[in-house]
Amino acid sequence: MQAPANDLDWVLVLAPYRRDGAYMEALLVEHGMPVQRSADAREFADLLPDSPGVIVATHEALTPDVIEAISLHLLVQPNWSELPVVILLDRSVAYHRVRSLLDKAWPGARQIYYQRPVAALELVTGIQSALAVRRRQREVRDHIDKETEFRLELNHRVKNILATVGSIFQMTRRGAQSVEELAEDFEGRLGALSNVHSAVFQAGGEAVSLTNVIDLTVSPYRMDGDSRIWVEGPDLMVTREAGTTLALCLHELTTNAIKYGALSGDKGTVSLTWGISDNPDPIFTINWIESGGPPVSPPERSGYGTRYIRSALTTLFGRPPEISYEVQGLRFTISGPMLSASSAFLEGASAAVL
């Protein structure tokens, strides 16, 4: 007895009398078809849940127990499944009487009849065709499963995006001094969020290149083509959630530098670097250092951007970022275990001037 390969890709044979079962098993195996041969009605019923692609049974093997077992199996088949049942009839058996009986027991079943003696090639070709149909049904099933999974994931992501947008709007509204300021800040933050989702979509998976995230987030803030932000670090694959968080935080740092910091004047620059330590437990660190701008002093109160950065990065890295308001420029550092923010690390380093 040969074990089945995959579901819907094997033949279940029930021919317990004489040597019919052994002969059919040898014939089908010889032509490359996986076979399970059952010795009686009980073993046959036990094998049905393993999802045979085709059932082959001799007429005399169709006892009431076997007919009922097939009937119950057909009742639980999904909409995409059409199980072929191949029945071998003796010449002395009335086909119409058998067909009428089985139509009542198996409504809608795909019944295929051969009259014995049947040519080996004819039987093999018919069963091969039936298995080919079943493989196609399996492909349809897998497509339906993937489509269902995709829809559920899409629904989940849309809900998360809407929740994020709602949160960004509420926190932006609380910090805005005018409608124009609200519109400008909200549009910028939505743009940063959109850039990350574009990067994730282009990556085609749940992880995205940190370099791509940073490029998409920072490049729109080039100042008339001048190279004002120096970006350097190894290419690190981060999760979708980590990429979104980092992009929004970098957006806040960039807009703050444009409004109040190094990028608000003509000569200021920003150094944005990141790396992985060589410790036994790798630590991932990001540094944002501003210089050449107006003198910096600590703000009287924390705005939305600062509060978001502290909260989001503390959640991501397990520790709060360090923000230092040096006279020569803002200094920002966040570091934590690499696995908290990433799913994989790629060899090599990348450097770019934006």
Instruction: Give the DSSP letter string of 56-69.
Output: EEEGGG--HHHHHH
Give the DSSP H or E segment for 191. helix 179-203
Residue finishing a domain among 114, 141, 168: 141
- Whole-angstrom Cα distance, residue 32 to residue 49? 23
Q: The domain that contains 77 carries what CATH number?
A: 3.40.50.2300
Tell whether 160 is covered by a domain.
Answer: no
Where does residue 175 fall: left (phi above 0), alpha (psi -120 to 50 degrees), or beta otherwise?
Answer: alpha
Residues 232-237 have a mean pLDDT of: 86
Q: Are residues 234 and 123 in the same domain?
A: no
How do strand 11-14 and strand 84-89 relate by DSSP bridges?
unpaired
- Tell me the per-residue pLDDT of 304-331, one tens digit each, with 9 for 90 and over: 678 888 888 988 888 899 999 988 899 9
Q: Are residues 112 and 233 in the same domain?
A: no
Q: Are residues 326 and 196 in the same domain?
A: yes
Cβ atoms within 10 Å, residue 5 = 11
Nearest to 133 by CA among 74, 89, 82: 82
Confidence of residue 3 (pLDDT cuts 50, 70, 90): very low
The mean-pLDDT minimum among 62-66, 83-87, 161-165 falls in 161-165
Q: Are residues 104 and 190 in the same domain?
A: no
Tell whether 116 is covered by a domain.
Answer: yes
Residue finishing a domain among 141, 165, 189: 141
The answer to whether 284 touches 341, Cβ cutoff 8 Å, is: yes
Please tell me whether residue 83 adopts helix, strand or coil conformation: coil
Q: Are residues 189 and 114 in the same domain?
A: no
pTM: 0.51
- Tell me the per-residue pLDDT of 92-119, one tens digit each, with 9 for 90 and over: 888 889 999 999 999 878 999 999 888 9
